[in-house]
């Protein structure tokens, strides 16, 4: 029971730390909301390029909620660096706390934060006319998919933080890796609008797999005029397989580096 008890208390610690820094919460949400409100209005005519009667706000919502997971993933690595530099991790290691719970409590708090932020963004999207065609179950699956993706992607920044012990390096490398992938995916544009070489990159891009799964829960299938509660399980399960593979690699590296730090 020590592992679960310690994980719970460390999870509460991270949540309290986050609540005491509302500016961090605000700016982590500010960029996705700007994209949702302004970016979709600026490029609203892109919807007609995707298909007749397609709303670009509905199309882009999937990419925007996933973009929020990136922001939270960046914060994971920098927070670990702060704990190392402030001496908090050293103090924790001097206590009988379960070593695995230190990392698990951090990851659990990241998933919870991403889930709450996703709910806020989806609520705003609902006001703007985005109604998932899969209903309440679709909302739940969107939140789970984004949380699962955020968990897997946070492993990159956590591993970088544990390896470099530099918040600036974490943000720089993570941004360099993820933003090109974001813009070469189906997050914000339809693949038919991309150059041929970028279409090829997009077809193998892990972000595209996740976005396509989320979009299948929000938008009706092609050539389906009145569709409700239609789940494209092949797309969803394919995305979960790709995300799981990323998670095994990134979190495996994080666990390995964390064990080196605590030893």
Ranges of each domain in the chain: 2-262
pTM of the complete model: 0.86
pLDDT at 22 (0 to 100) = 73
Q: CA of 231: how far to CAs of 143, 163, 221, in Å? A: 15, 41, 9
Q: Using CA atoms, how far apart are residues 125 and 16, in angstroms rounded to an integer? A: 28
pLDDT at 145 (0 to 100) = 92
Q: CA of 258: how far to CAs of 108, 109, 145, 158, 212, in Å? A: 16, 17, 26, 9, 33
9: CB partners within 8 A, 6+ apart: 105
pLDDT at 213 (0 to 100) = 92
pLDDT at 120 (0 to 100) = 86
Q: Using CA atoms, how far apart are residues 214 and 118, in angstroms rounded to an integer? A: 12
Please give the average pLDDT of every successive group of 10 residues along the chain, which has 263 residues: 80 80 71 79 75 80 86 77 81 81 83 85 87 85 90 86 83 80 87 88 92 87 55 90 93 88 76
Q: Using CA atoms, how far apart are residues 102 and 83, in angstroms rounded to an integer? A: 11
Quote the DSSP letter at residue 53: T
pLDDT at 239 (0 to 100) = 94
Per-residue pLDDT reduced to its tens digit, 105-119: 888 888 888 888 888
Q: Is 82 exposed, middle or buried (0-12, 13-18, 19+ CB in 10 A)?
A: middle
């Amino acid at each position: 029971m020590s592992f679960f008890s310690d994980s719970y208390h460390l999870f509460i610690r991270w949540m309290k730390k986050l609540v005491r820094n509302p500016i961090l919460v605000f700016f982590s949400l500010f960029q996705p909301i700007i994209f949702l409100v302004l970016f979709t209005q600026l490029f609203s005519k892109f919807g007609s390029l995707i298909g007749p009667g397609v709303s670009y706000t509905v199309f882009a919502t999937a990419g925007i909620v996933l973009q929020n997971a990136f922001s939270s993933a960046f914060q994971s690595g920098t927070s670990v660096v702060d704990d190392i530099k402030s001496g908090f991790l050293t103090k924790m290691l001097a206590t009988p706390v379960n070593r695995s719970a230190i990392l698990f409590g951090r990851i659990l708090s990241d998933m919870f934060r991403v889930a709450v932020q996703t709910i806020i963004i989806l609520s705003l999207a609902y006001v703007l006319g985005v109604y998932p065609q899969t209903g309440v179950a679709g909302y739940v699956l969107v939140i789970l998919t984004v949380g699962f993706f955020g968990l897997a992607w946070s492993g990159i920044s956590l591993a970088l933080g544990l390896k470099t012990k530099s918040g600036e390096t974490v943000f720089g490398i993570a941004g360099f890796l993820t933003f090109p992938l974001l813009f070469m995916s189906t997050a914000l544009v339809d693949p038919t609008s991309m150059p041929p070489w970028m279409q090829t990159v997009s077809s193998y891009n892990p972000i595209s797999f996740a976005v396509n799964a989320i979009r299948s829960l929000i938008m009706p299938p092609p050539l389906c005029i009145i569709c409700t509660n239609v789940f494209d399980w092949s797309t969803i399960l394919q995305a979960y397989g790709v995300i799981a593979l990323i998670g095994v690699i990134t979190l495996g590296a994080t666990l390995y580096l964390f064990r080196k730090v605590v030893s």
